[in-house]
Amino acid sequence: MECRDVLDRLSPFVDDELDPVASREISQHLKSCPSCTAALARQRELGESLRRDLEYHRAPDLLRARVMREVRGAERREVAPSRFPALPWRWLSAAAAVAAVVGGTWMVATLPRDRGDEATAREAVSGHIRSLMANHLTDVASTDQHTVKPWFSGKLDFSPPVTDFAGADYPLTGGRLDYLQGHPVAALVYMHRKHVINVFLWPTAGAREQQAAAVTQRGFHVIHGTHAGMAYWVVSDLNAEELASFARMLAASPGRP
């Protein structure tokens, strides 16, 4: 093979896309041709430089959320985006009102409740979406609750209860720090089939036991409540029924304080 033929094929040669015969011939030629070898080095260098220096643009959160809504068929372009959250929030207010009648005093302590919850739900959903971006899901990747739980100590001033539900097909996959309502919270990550479930936990001083309330935000289901001094917010694109049963399991788990 002549230099010209070799140079013409260096690009696919570098990509390992030549047939074995041509590939072998080029290798043979390179052994005895310094100038072609130098050209090969430049080709390789270019590839390395492209892979190293070119930015990989990951999809922005908002785009991800929109696309996920498209998949769910929940959004058409013609529809104003505000339509979607309206209904569930009215529902939440109703739920809050019912809870107020049943639960009594906490309403006073956390007034105005539904407005605060709305903001928190939004933040929780944003946290969930952020976590779905590659490499942001977990800071500590482990299915072992005894690894995940200690990881939080030293990073948070409280110790979140960590339970694995692998037996019920909701395996724990890890944890990370997140920020909600302006302070660091524990985020536990569970999987159910291919769905990611984020559980945000933080202590709420003096808060009464609070029944789980469910809302839908930007196409994600959110279930939140307070149990044994911990506020929990569960976010996922999993269907509402399964997520509710997961939340029940979570609130009833022996691992909780």
Partner 1 sequence: MTHERRPETGNPPRRLSPEEQERFNERVLPHLDAAYNLARYLLRDPHEAEEAVQDAFLRAIRHFDGFRGADGRAWLLSIVRNTCFTQFRRRRSGGEQVEFDEEIHSVEDETSEPEADFTRSIAEQSVREGLGRLAVEFREVLVLRELEGLSYKEIAQVAGVPIGTVMSRLARGRKQLLLALGAGAKEND
Q: Which residues of the chain form contacts with partner 1 (CB under 8 A)? A: 7-8, 10-12, 15, 17, 35, 38-39, 42-43, 45-47, 49-51, 53-60, 62-64, 66-68, 70-73, 76-78, 133-134, 193-195, 237
Specify whether the backbone of 154 is left (phi greater than 0), alpha (psi in -120 to 50) or beta: left
Of 63 and 87, CB closest to partner 1 = 63
Q: How far apart are CA 15 and CA 74, in angstroms?
A: 42
To partner 1, the closest distance from the beta carbon of 249 in angstroms equals 22
Q: How far apart are CA 113 and CA 104, in angstroms?
A: 13
The phi, psi pair for 234, rounded to 5°, reads -110, 125
Of 18 and 207, CB closest to partner 1 = 18
To partner 1, the closest distance from the beta carbon of 56 in angstroms equals 6
Q: How far apart are CA 180 and CA 226, in angstroms?
A: 15
To partner 1, the closest distance from the beta carbon of 73 in angstroms equals 4
To partner 1, the closest distance from the beta carbon of 218 in angstroms equals 14
Of 40 and 251, CB closest to partner 1 = 40
The answer to whether 227 touches 204, Cβ cutoff 8 Å, is no
Quick one: which of 149, 109, 125, 104 has its CA closest to 224?
A: 125
Of 10 and 231, CB closest to partner 1 = 10
Of 21 and 50, CB closest to partner 1 = 50
